[in-house]
Each structure stands twice: as structure tokens, then as C-alpha cells.
Amino acid sequence: MNTMKLKNKWPKYYKKDVVTHYCPGCGHGIVHRIVAEVLEDLDLGKRAVCVNPAGCAVLAYKYFDIDTLESAHGRGTAMATGIKRARPELFVFTYQGDGDLSAIGTAETIHSANRGEQICVIFINNAVYGMTGGQMAPTTLLEQKTTTSPFGRTPQVEGYPLHITDILATFPGVVYAERVALNGPAGVRKTKKAITTAFQTQVDGLGYSIIEVLSACPTNWKMSSVDSLKWIDEVMSKEFPPGVLTDKRGEQK
Amino acid sequence: MKENKIFISGNHAFAEAAIRAGVKCYFGYPITPQNELGEYMAQHLRANDGVFLQSESETAAINMVIGAAATGVRAMTSSSSPGISLKQEGMSFLAGFELPAVVVNVMRGGPGLGNIAPAQGDYFQATRGGGHGDYRTPVLAPASVQEIADLTFDAFNLADKYRTPVMLLGDGMMGQMKEPVIFPEKIKKLPEKEWALRGRGTGASRYMASLILDPREMEQHNWKLFRKYKEIEKNEIRYESYLMDDAEIVIIAYGTTARIAKGAINRVRKDGVKAGLIRPITLWPFPSKVLNDLARTIKHFIVFEMSTGQMVEDVQLALCGSAEITFHGRPGGIIPTPIEFARIIYREYQKMKKK
């Protein structure tokens, strides 16, 4: 019989003995682990500061074993600007959801990106407000039912899904922008590669980077975990196609 | 010894004093009548190894202040009334995080956009916390450009000592007026703040969060803040007494209004009216006990404000009905004259004497 040895090294910057508060099938836990792994791979944990959002990931400090600061809803990149400008030697990233980043925090998101702040943004797009119970987000798809678009989102009433990362990618100050889909093992590997690239961009002093992660919210999508991954693949990825949206690293050197 | 006097406007004095007090980061958004403050920072802060950044909004500015303050540097922002309303969310977070920061409000007429003339209509907002949640903000109210310089130093020291946002409350006249000032020496080195987020290094990781989901823990946090505020009330009350030794009638006014009241008092004293002034310098904590003690001998107080009456409520609370209070206010950007105040003092003094 073939036996496979599971190599499961606990990431250095992921707290031990924590019981997850995230729902089964949620993408946050996977992205948290990836972030912790990349912090270790690039040896950034000792000088890293993460800005947590208002939203499900407000409790990110329970998982990340690095210095973290909570933000008011939407203000993450303003706080990150303050941290990085005050102490440029720190490695600074925000971790934000779609409501936080692309609704209430749109002004802060746009202007920090346009200034080309030397920060990284991890943007979790799950097309709903998770923490408050599944209301419509700017990224909610057309026809998608949420508690505040119970008959499905329509352009006439709620407008179209907002492609914020595509907008940011057009800015000269945004050096690296990529969208990835957390839809299976390959998606997990791609997400790790993208976050590594983003973090390295700041390490190299090249400027602002953002990684948008299409991430499952089975609870609020009212789907099984397996169906949720399928939905990312077959529906969400059609509206928000994964790929590198801009890569200006060569121009910055 | 020749004193190094500089003829400078109030808005520039806030900025120069902050630089000398070791401010590392200034974030702000233009609004009249305090634009010269940010402009001075843009001109001079970088040369002093500091960071000046014009933000996209007042909301962004106060959150940049939070980020910078969390790393342990001295950080500040400034604005005028409508912009201060936008900063209140951030003020609440600063209070919750227990982070030091200095916020300057150069008040103008309101509500709404109001106008750009001097007013004192933000007293309630400044002294009651302003943002959501159960907190207080120490508020310092300068009445001269020299005092702007001195109190800016004090504001940073209080903020660091108690880990709290501190507000400097001026108005358009304080900001625009020029006077000779002797600035305190520039602070060369500030002590490190062990609580600051600087990356965990080889130590344990830390976090700052205002979210405390367990009500029992939240209550403990509220009581902890309360104890801090009690400590501030015990140690930090400041006020000025002017011609109080033989005073029979007492004026209570702060900032610009107190300056005008002094002119009025000098005027009525020539006619033998024994008027004195208590000028609260800290609006929170308010010098309530001072007023309450005075009420044993003084039976008539006059409160002057450039509003329809806000500080007068603190005076009422302090006196608990033990003396008569007359209020006279000019809201909306009108600067009253010493003659106007003098007339009120004459009238009330004569009424008092007839009793």
C-alpha cells in the first residue's frame, strides 16, 4: 500500500491553539494561512504590521502572530498610509473585504493606490457582506440574491458589480494587481504565488500592490462548500476573470 | 538676554509649536479658516524630518493619524468645524485604542457649512466626546497666539501622558490673528513608547482593537477609560483668574470671547464696577469646583460665548443653582465688542446692587 506522509508544518506567524471563528468552507482561513506562510518565506514577520478590516476578518489578530491594528470600516489603507509614512522600515499590508474596500472605503482605496503608497492590499471578494449576514455588496453579481437584493440584483435598481481592482490597475501608482480565484488546490497555489509577488513588490520598494481573491462564503451564498467552489469557477470568475491586471515592476526598477 | 520673539499668526503658531514639540506626522485636508496651518506644515515639516501629507478627506486624515500614532510617533491633524465632524469617527477610535494624538479645531460659524467667520458653536461636540461611545477628550482653549504655542506643547504632552486624543479648540480669530510669540525650545528626543506597534521583532506579537465582543470585557474597558478621565479631571484642570481679588460679579468666558471680556472688564472697572474673569483653559475637564467654591461669596455670574449658549450649561452644572447666571451670546460668526459686553456687565451689576 502506498503511504503518503503529510507534511504539515505550522506557519511561524500563525497563532497556535486557535479555534477558527470562520464558517465551514469560508476562504478567509485559507488566505490567512497563505499570508502567514508568505510572511515566513520572505522573513517579514518581525517587521510586519497588518491592518485588519471591519468585517469577518476583524478578528484576524486572533490568527496572525504579528503586530496588527484594527481599522474603522473602510479606513484600512488610510491607516496603512499613516503607519508606512511614519515608519517606512515596517512591512505594511491591509486585509479587507469587498464592502470595506470597495463601498465605504472607496475614497481611501482609490487615493492610497493613486499615491502609490508602499503597501500591499489583500482584497477578499466574496460578493456579499459576510459579517452582517449576507447583504448586497458592490461586487454582488447581477441576479444574485442577497438579504437586501432578495429578488436578485438588477442594473436598474442596484447598478452593476463594481470592478474596483480593474480601476486601480489603470493607475500609474499601482505596480502590481492580480485577481485570483480560491476555487481548489490550483487556486490556492496561485493565490500564494500572487501574494508572494505582492509582498516582494513592497520589499523591493517598487510601490503599491493589490491581490483580489475570489473567495467562498457558503453560509451567505446558501450553498454547500463544494457548490460554492463550483460557483466561483462557473459564475463569479466570468464576471471577475482571474489574471494579472497590471504588472509595472519592470518599469519601476 | 534677548528674547527670540516671532511675529506670527495663530495658525502658523499651531504648526511651528507642533514641529518644536516633535510632531513627526501631519495629515490634513484644506478648510478655511485654518489653511495656513497645513500650508506651514507643507513648507516646514519635511525639513524637520517629518511627514506632511494632504489627504483625500478629513476622514482619511484622522485615520492616517491613527496609523502613525499606533507606531508611537507624535501625530496630528487640524481642521475647522465641518471637517471636525468628519473626524469624529476617528476620534472615537483613538479613544478606544488609547492612542495619543492632537487635533486642532479652528472653529467657524455653523451648523452645516455655516461660514468662515470665528464662532464657538462646537463646544458641545468638543467637550462631550463628539464621536460615538463613552469617552471624553481633553480640550484646551487658547486665548492668545502665545498661548497657542504653549498649549500645543501641553496638548502633545497630555496626549502622551494619558494616551488620549487631545483637542486644541480655537476659532477663526485665534487662527488668523498675528501676535509676538516666544516659542519653547525644540524637543530633541522623545522617550520611546513601549506599547507602540513597531513589528514584533523578537518579542511577542501585539494588536490594537477597539472591538470587544464580550460585554463584560467591554464594560471593564469603559471603566478603565473612566478611571483615566477621573485622573485627568483631578490633575489637569486649568483656568485663568483675572482681577478676581475684589470681584463682586464674575464673567466666565473662554478663547476669543475671554479676550473681549477682559477689555470690557477694564472698561467697567474705571467706573468702579468690581468685575472679574474666570477663563477656563481646559474646557474638559471644566473648572467646576473653582466656580462652585466662588459661589459661596459671588452671587452673580455672566457667561459670554460666541454661540447661543453651550458652555453656560457647564456653568449651570457647576453652580447647581447657588448663584444667578446671565448669558449673553453672539453666534454665527459675529465677534462681539468690549463695549457690548461692558453694557451687559453694567446692567447686571446695577441689578445686583439694587437687590
Which chain B residues contact residue A69 at CB under 8 A? 66-67, 70, 97, 197, 207-208
Tens digit of pLDDT for each residue in A92-141?
A: 999 999 999 999 999 999 999 999 999 999 999 999 999 999 999 999 99
State the smallest CA–CA distance between residue B210 and chain A in angstroms. 7
Which chain B residues contact residue A65 at CB under 8 A? 200, 205
A-interface mutation test, from B197, B206, B210, B214, most A Cβ less than 10 A away: B197
Find the distance separating the first CA and the last CA of chain A, reported in whole Å.
53
Give yes or no for residue A46 having a pLDDT over 90.
Answer: yes
CB distance B78 to B103 below 8 Å: yes
Q: Which residue of A has its CA nearest to B201?
A: A46
State the smallest CA–CA distance between residue B180 and chain A in angstroms. 32
Establish whether domains B6-187+209-235 and B240-354 are of one fold: yes
Contact A69 B197 (CB under 8 A): yes
State the smallest CA–CA distance between residue B202 and chain A in angstroms. 7
Smallest Cβ distance to B67: which of A61, A66, A82? A82
**ipTM summary value:** 0.96
Which chain B residues contact residue A51 at CB under 8 A? 67
What's the pLDDT at B355? 82
Tens digit of pLDDT for each residue in A157-184?
A: 999 999 999 999 999 999 999 999 999 9
Q: Which residue of B has its CA nearest to A48?
A: B199
Contact A108 B63 (CB under 8 A): yes
What's the pLDDT at A17? 87
Smallest Cβ distance to B25: which of A46, A70, A82? A82
A32 touching B (Cβ < 8 Å): no
Which chain B residues contact residue A59 at CB under 8 A? 211
Which chain B residues contact residue A116 at CB under 8 A? none
Contact B60 A65 (CB under 8 A): no
Give yes or no for residue A253 having a pLDDT over 70.
Answer: no
d(CA B62, CA B58): 6
Q: Domain limits of chain B?
A: 6-187+209-235, 240-354
A61 touching B (Cβ < 8 Å): yes
Q: What is the largest CA-CA distance in chain B?
A: 76
SS3 A242: coil
Q: Which residues contact B355 (CB under 8 A, 6 or more apart)?
A: none
Give yes or no for residue A78 having a pLDDT over 80.
Answer: yes
- Pairing mode, if any, of strands A120-125 and A91-97? parallel
Query: In terms of pTM, does the model score above 0.95?
Result: yes
* B6-187+209-235 is classed CATH 3.40.50.970: yes
d(CA B116, CA B163): 32
What's the pLDDT at A7? 67
Give yes or no for residue A34 having a pLDDT over 70.
Answer: yes
A111 touching B (Cβ < 8 Å): yes
State the smallest CA–CA distance between residue B132 and chain A in angstroms. 12
Averaged pLDDT in 10-residue chunks for chain B of 355 residues: 85 98 98 98 94 98 98 98 98 98 98 97 96 97 98 98 98 98 96 96 96 97 98 98 98 98 98 98 98 97 98 98 97 97 98 91
CB distance B75 to B196 below 8 Å: no
Give yes or no for residue A211 having a pLDDT over 60.
Answer: yes
Q: Kindly report the average pLDDT of chain A as a whole number.
A: 96
Enter the CATH code of domain B240-354.
3.40.50.920
CB distance B94 to B76 below 8 Å: no
- Pairing mode, if any, of strands B25-28 and B75-79? parallel
Tell me how crowded residue B133 is: count the other CB atoms within 10 A of its CB: 13
State the smallest CA–CA distance between residue B50 and chain A in angstroms. 8
Which chain B residues contact residue A45 at CB under 8 A? 200
